[in-house]
């Protein structure tokens, strides 16, 4: 089973891109994918969805330097993006923290909100975002995903 790291758009320094690259850990090679993000973004976050064949892409900064709450699901087998329900808050993601997937399939967003420290939970089965009361309630002291704009997947 191969393991890949997917890199989406611009990760830092307000570099706004729409490219997606895949790094093969076994062969130590980078591959530029032929399909692009639906819109150019910087400072976005990603999370694998349960089942490992799709990636949730959320938030970030647009080419107009505006934060957004947009969410897309990339279906890896189909090379297709699906529009999903937007987060309740616009978010920019910096500093290697902010999003993690739980064993129950939910995705938690803890940081990146401009005007609030609200945490949100995404339930893919319902395409629904819920506000969570606090970081400590959802994290239970667990380590957060340290890859912002990157997503590790197994094939």
Q: Residue 130 has what pLDDT?
A: 92
Q: Residue 103 has what pLDDT?
A: 83
> Over the stretch 90-134, which tens digit does the pLDDT of each residue have?
888 874 457 888 888 899 887 766 655 678 899 999 999 998 866
Residue 81 pLDDT > 50: yes
Residue 136 pLDDT > 70: no
Confidence of residue 53 (pLDDT cuts 50, 70, 90): confident
Q: Residue 145 has what pLDDT?
A: 42
Confidence of residue 143 (pLDDT cuts 50, 70, 90): very low
Tokens of 70: 């947009």
Q: How many helices (H) and strands (E) does the chain have?
A: 1, 12
Tokens of 33: 């994918």
Mean pLDDT of the chain: 78
Angle at 107 between CA 149 and CA 5, to 5 degrees: 35
139: left (phi over 0), alpha (psi -120 to 50) or beta: alpha
> Over the stretch 7-50, which tens digit does the pLDDT of each residue have?
665 555 567 778 888 888 888 988 888 888 899 888 888 888 87
Tokens of 143: 């380590």
């Amino acid at each position: 089973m191969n393991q890949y790291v997917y890199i989406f758009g611009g990760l830092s320094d307000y570099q706004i891109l729409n490219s997606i690259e895949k790094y093969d850990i076994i062969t130590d090679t980078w591959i530029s994918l032929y399909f692009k993000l639906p819109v150019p973004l910087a400072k976005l976050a990603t999370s694998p969805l349960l089942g490992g064949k799709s990636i949730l892409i959320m938030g970030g900064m647009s080419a107009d330097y505006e934060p957004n709450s947009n969410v897309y699901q990339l279906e890896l087998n189909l090379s297709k993006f699906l529009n999903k329900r937007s987060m309740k808050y616009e978010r920019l993601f910096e500093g290697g923290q902010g999003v993690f997937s739980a064993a129950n399939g939910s995705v938690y967003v803890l940081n990146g909100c401009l005007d609030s420290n609200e945490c949100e939970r995404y339930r893919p089965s319902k395409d629904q975002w819920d506000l969570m009361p606090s970081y400590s309630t959802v994290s239970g002291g667990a380590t957060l995903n340290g890859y912002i704009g990157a997503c590790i997947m197994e094939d």
